[in-house]
Copies of this chain bind each other. A is one copy, B any other.
Amino acid sequence: MDERKSLIGEYNFVAEPFCSDFTGHMSLSTLGNMLLNVAEFHASDRGFGIITINQGAHTWVLSRLAMEFDEMPRQTEPFTIQTWVENVYKLFTARNFAIVNKDNTPIGYARSVWAMIDLESRKPVDLLSVYSGGISEYVCDRDCPIDGPGKVKVVSTEPVREVSMLFSDIDINGHVNSIRYIDHILDLFPLDLYKEKRIKRFEIAYVNESYYGDTLAFYLDEKGEGEFHIEVKKKDSGEVICRSKVIFI
């Protein structure tokens, strides 16, 4: 048996007709949700799912996510998401994904970085020692041929949009759902841009949590043809919540 193969989780999906954007392709936030769900399935099967580690008063926190696509699955098309752990460090673990079409051709990849925190103290947990260091057993050396998340620096001082966080933004932990930020960021761009171009790469780094009732201010820099850098701050305090880079081609 190929040991590496057993380290890679493989999950089959169909791009659902009512989860498509107006181009008929699966929406990026739907795919982002699937990646997080698949990460949880894979971790859960190996004893490190959220529900298991919650019992140890720990939880997973998504720190960074980068996704890059040659194409997005079209509605009704079957596709597969593969996922594996690339690395386990003291404070972070890197998990990668491949999105593979029905002809077994990769159409996209994603990289994610996670921390485990203590539910009480909100402090990071040492991943090399927690659960007897068992997470490290699942590291797999498969290649993920996209860049890791890069540095995002936004200089704009006037927000392009302000949005209040409401019921539909809030997840089970009481803070704004990681994927909802993606929707709000994609909503900064006019529909015409999506008609002319498609998103080649999307990355996001989560810096601080935001909560129900927070008003978030979105700052946007255009960094050249089709590349945008976004910073999201709490309107009141100016605290940075997340930073993102979107590349259209």
Q: How many copies does the complex hold?
A: 2
Q: What's the nearest-Cβ distance from chain B to residue A224, in Å?
A: 21
Asked if A23 lies at the interface with its beta carbon under 8 angstroms from chain B, I say yes
Give residues of chain A (4-28) contacting chain B, Cβ–Cβ below 8 Å.
16-24, 27
Q: What's the nearest-Cβ distance from chain B to residue A51, in Å?
A: 7
**How many residues on the A side are at the interface (Cβ–Cβ under 8 A)?**
39
Asked if A75 lies at the interface with its beta carbon under 8 angstroms from chain B, I say yes
Contact pick for A172, options B24, B50, B186, CB 8 Å: B24
Asked if A144 lies at the interface with its beta carbon under 8 angstroms from chain B, I say no
Cβ-defined contact, B50 with A170, below 8 A: no
Measured in the bound complex, the distance between the Cα atoms of B76 and A186 in whole Å is 29
Q: What's the nearest-Cβ distance from chain B to residue A204, in Å?
A: 15
A17, A19, A37, A40: which has the most chain B beta carbons within 10 Å?
A17
A194 neighbours in B (Cβ, 8 Å) = 167
A23 neighbours in B (Cβ, 8 Å) = 172
Asked if A207 lies at the interface with its beta carbon under 8 angstroms from chain B, I say no
Known contacts A76-B51, A191-B212; A20 and B172 CB within 8 A of each other: yes
A24 neighbours in B (Cβ, 8 Å) = 172
Cβ-defined contact, B36 with A179, below 8 A: no
Q: Mark A18-56, 1 if CB is under 8 A from B, else 0.
A: 111111100101000100110010000000001100000
Asked if A157 lies at the interface with its beta carbon under 8 angstroms from chain B, I say no
A22 neighbours in B (Cβ, 8 Å) = 167, 170-174
Closest to A33 in B: B18
Q: What's the nearest-Cβ distance from chain B to residue A100, in Å?
A: 20
Asked if A222 lies at the interface with its beta carbon under 8 angstroms from chain B, I say no
Closest to A189 in B: B167
Q: What's the nearest-Cβ distance from chain B to residue A132, in Å?
A: 25
Cβ-defined contact, B172 with A187, below 8 A: no
Measured in the bound complex, the distance between the Cα atoms of B75 and A50 in whole Å is 11
A184 neighbours in B (Cβ, 8 Å) = 168
Measured in the bound complex, the distance between the Cα atoms of B191 and A167 in whole Å is 6
Asked if A130 lies at the interface with its beta carbon under 8 angstroms from chain B, I say no
Cβ-defined contact, B172 with A29, below 8 A: no
Contacts A23-B172, A27-B168 known; list 7 others, CB within 8 Å: A16-B33, A17-B37, A18-B177, A20-B172, A22-B172, A167-B186, A168-B187
